[in-house]
Chain A
Amino acid sequence: MAKVTGIGIYKLLPRTNCGDCNFPTCMAFAMQVAAKKSALDQCPHVSAEAQSALGDAQAPPMQTVKIGVGEAEYAIGGETVLFRHEEKFYHPTGIAIRISNALPDSEIDARLEAIGKLHFLRVGEEIGVNFVAVDCEKFDAACYASAVKRVSTGTDLPIILACSDPAILAPALETVADRRPLIGPAIEANWEAMAELAGKHHVPLVVRANTLDGLCALSENLKEKGVEDLVLDPAGADLVDTITKLTELRRLALEKVFRPLGHPTLVHATSDTPDEEAATAAAVICRYAGIVIMDSTEPSHLLPLLTIRQNIYTDPQVPNAIEAKLYEIGAPGPDAPVLLTTNFALTYFTVAGEVENSRVPSYISVVDTEGLGVLNAYADDKLSAEKVIKAVQEQGVMDKVKHNRLIIPGLVAVMRMEIQEDSGWEVIVGPEDAAGIPHFLKTEWNSN
Chain B
Amino acid sequence: MTAEIPDVKKTWPHSINTVTIGATATEGGTRTSTITVGGETTLPFYHFEGTMPNKPVLAMEVWDVPAEDWPEPVKKPFADVMSDPGTWAKRCVEEHGAELICLRLKGCDPNGADRTPQEAAEAAKKVLDAVGVPLIIWGCGNVDKDNEVFPVVGDAVSGENCLLGTISEDNYKTLTALGTAYKHKLIAASPVDINLAKQVNILAMDVGFPPENILIYPSTGALGYGIEYVYTIMERLRIAGLKGDKVVAMPMLCDIGIEAWGVKEAKAPESEVPGWGDVNERGPMWEAATAYVYLLAGADILIMRHPDAVRITKNTIARLMGGGA
Contact = CB atoms under 8 A, between A and B. Distances in A.
Contact of A279 (B48, B236, B292): B292
Given A238-B324, A272-B325, A283-B292, A120 B5 contact: no
B265 A307 contact: yes
Contacts of B47: 240, 244
A252 B3 CA distance: 12
Interface stretch (A68-76, A211-219, A385-393): A211-219
A283 B319 CA distance: 11
Contact of B325 (A244, A276, A312): A276
Contact size range, B: 35 or more
Nearest to A215: B5
B293 A239 contact: no
B126 interface: no
Contacts of A278: 285, 288-289
Interface string B268-300: 000000011110011001101110110011000
Interface in B1-43: 2-3, 5-6, 8
Given A308-B223, A314-B228, A299 B282 contact: yes
Contact of B296 (A85, A286, A299, A349): A286
B231 A252 contact: no
Contact of A353 (B225, B277, B288, B290): B225
A122 B296 contact: no
A77 to B, nearest CB: 18
Interface string A232-263: 00000011100110011001100110101100
Contact size range, A: 35 or more
B315 interface: yes
A255 B226 contact: no
Interface string B286-321: 101110110011000000000000001001100111
A12 B256 CA distance: 55
Contacts of B275: 117, 120, 299
B8 A303 contact: no
A276 B46 contact: no
A123 B224 contact: yes
B41 to A, nearest CB: 15
A284 to B, nearest CB: 10
Contacts of B265: 122, 303-304, 307
Contacts of B264: 353, 356
Nearest to B281: A300
B120 to A, nearest CB: 21
B67 interface: no
A310 B231 CA distance: 13
A303 B282 contact: yes
B203 interface: no
A350 interface: yes
B277 A298 contact: yes
A213 B5 CA distance: 7
B245 interface: no
B316 A311 contact: no
Given A304-B265, A311-B223, A439-B111, A275 B315 contact: yes
B205 to A, nearest CB: 26
B285 A312 contact: no
Nearest to A244: B48
B293 A300 contact: no
B202 interface: no
Nearest to A431: B111
Given A252-B5, A252-B8, A303-B265, A240 B224 contact: no
Contacts of B223: 304, 307-308, 311
B232 A316 contact: yes
Contacts of B312: 275, 279
B261 to A, nearest CB: 11
Given A85-B232, A308-B223, A346-B225, A279 B316 contact: yes
B306 to A, nearest CB: 13
B235 A283 contact: no
A252 B7 CA distance: 8
A372 B313 CA distance: 34
22 contacts: A216-B5, A239-B320, A244-B47, A248-B48, A252-B6, A258-B6, A275-B315, A276-B319, A278-B285, A278-B289, A286-B292, A286-B293, A299-B275, A299-B276, A299-B277, A300-B282, A303-B276, A311-B231, A350-B226, A353-B262, A356-B264, A439-B111
Interface of B: 2-3, 5-6, 8, 45-48, 111, 221, 223-229, 231-232, 235-236, 239, 262-265, 275-278, 281-282, 285-286, 288-290, 292-293, 296-297, 312, 315-316, 319-322, 324-325
Given A238-B322, A279-B288, A439-B111, 12 more contacts: A85-B236, A243-B45, A244-B48, A278-B288, A278-B289, A286-B296, A301-B285, A303-B265, A304-B286, A307-B265, A308-B223, A350-B226
User: When A and B form their complex, which 9 residue pairs have the shortest distance between CB atoms, in order from nearest?
Assistant: A300-B277, A304-B289, A299-B277, A251-B8, A300-B282, A282-B292, A286-B296, A279-B316, A300-B281
